[in-house]
Amino acid sequence: MSNQIKLVAGHSIAKEEILLVVKPTSESARQLLRLYSQKKKCLDLTRGRSVNSLMLTDEDQLILLPLRARTLVDRLLGAGEVA
C-alpha cells in the first residue's frame, strides 16, 4: 500500500506529512491562512480555482487546494492512492 496521496496533477504528498485538513470557511482557518501568508509559507496549488481546503504539513507549510476537504480525507483513508 502506498503512503502517497494525489493532491492535484503533478503533486502528491506522503500521508505521514499531513497534520491538518480543513475547510477554508471558518474564522480559525482564515486566521491560519493569514498567518501563513504573512510568513510566506503558503503553497497555492489551486491554479486559479477556488480554495476548497487547507492542508498543514509537518514542514510548517500551508497548502491551498481546489479539492474538498472530504475528498482529501477519503484519500487519506485509502481511496485514490498513488501507485
Amino acid letter, 59:
E
Pull the grid cell for residue 9.
496533477
Residue 1 pLDDT class (50, 70, 90 cuts):
very low
Q: Where are the domains of the chain?
A: 4-76
Span 15-68, pLDDT tens digits = 999 999 999 999 999 999 999 999 999 999 999 999 999 999 999 999 999 999
d(CA 62, CA 51): 12
- With a cut of 80, say whether residue 79 has pLDDT above it: no
Return the pLDDT at 40: 96
DSSP H helical segments within the chain, as ranges?
A: 27-38, 69-76
DSSP percent split of the chain into helix, strand, coil, nearest 5: 30, 35, 40
Amino acid letter, 41:
K
